[in-house]
Amino acid sequence: QTELVEAGKNYLLEKIRQARQELGHVSSLAFPGMSLANAPGFSNEDYFNLILTEQMDPGRFRSIAAGAWEFNEQQESELKRLAERILVIIGANQEDAYSFTGNYASARGLTQFTPMGMSVVWSSYPQTGIPRDFREATGQHLNAIKAEICLLDHDLAGLATSHSALIGSGMEMYAAGAAYNGGPKRVRYGLENFGLAWLHPVSRLAELDGRAMLSNLERKELLWLKRNRG
């Protein structure tokens, strides 16, 4: 199993490196004047972690995490095993891993892309070479990762237009990742009303919930975080 975990990790990181290299001629919308190959907002590990997040069992994750914002040794061990199961599948199946996986929201493939998200990528980044057939685009890992990179860049650019402090904050991946998974609308609302601190939502919720006195804005933020906990 250890060998399959390592094989899965190496396989994914190599695909991410290749995808970024092949997007070297595609301009970033979030970082004008730079290409998607070297835009600073996201590392290879960020793209890697988002893939694990998309394939992880959310119910099992929440059961292990139990709302904690600092994990104990047992929780860390269980979460590590949860991630390693995904890497074992990828290591054993390589290009076939998750190629045909779909969910209730019509998201497909390794990066769990929806038809709406792919339409955004096709229209905003036409020079990527990603096939115009949705099943083909999501079923091939390299194309799926290219689409992931593009959509994160697109969402970050949109969020930064209403909250310019996001760029250079070190929080770019958190905001774009939240938009990727839950839609830009809620993330934009959070940024416009509450700034950047909530992008570590569990710790921010615990911080606000533990205070004896809250301002009206902080109380509003706390209620919003509780409503959007999932």
What is the average pLDDT across 112-116? 93
pLDDT over threshold 80, residue 103: no
Mean pLDDT of 199-209: 91
Phi-psi region of 67 (alpha: psi -120 to 50; beta: other; left: phi over 0): left
State the amino acid at position 38 in one-letter form. N
**pLDDT given for residue 229 in this prediction:** 77
Helix axes 2-22, 73-93, angle to 10 degrees: 70
Burial label for 91, CB within 10 Å (0-12, 13-18, 19+), is: buried
- Alpha-carbon distance of 163 to 172, in angstroms, equals 11
- As a whole number, mean pLDDT of residues 44-62 equals 93
Minimal CA–CA distance to 123: which of 152, 161, 150, 159? 150
> According to the model, what pLDDT value does residue 228 have?
85
d(CA 108, CA 101): 5
List C-alpha distances in Å: 30 to 47, 93, 184. 16, 34, 14
Q: CA nearest 105: which of 87, 117, 119?
A: 117
Mean pLDDT for the chain overall: 93
**Assigned token pair, 130:** 């990603």
- Of the pLDDT bands very low, low, confident and very high (cuts 50, 70, 90), residue 99 is confident
| Mean pLDDT value across residues 84-109 | 86
Residue 105 pLDDT > 70, yes or no? no
pLDDT at 58 over 60: yes
Residue 118's nearest CA partner among 110, 130, 100 is: 130
For residue 130, the model assigns a pLDDT of 96
The distance in angstroms from the start CA to the end CA of the chain is 31
pLDDT of residue 102: 65
Q: How confident is the model at residue 84 (pLDDT cuts 50, 70, 90)?
A: very high
Q: Which positions ≥6 away from 134 have C-beta within 8 Å?
A: 108, 115, 118
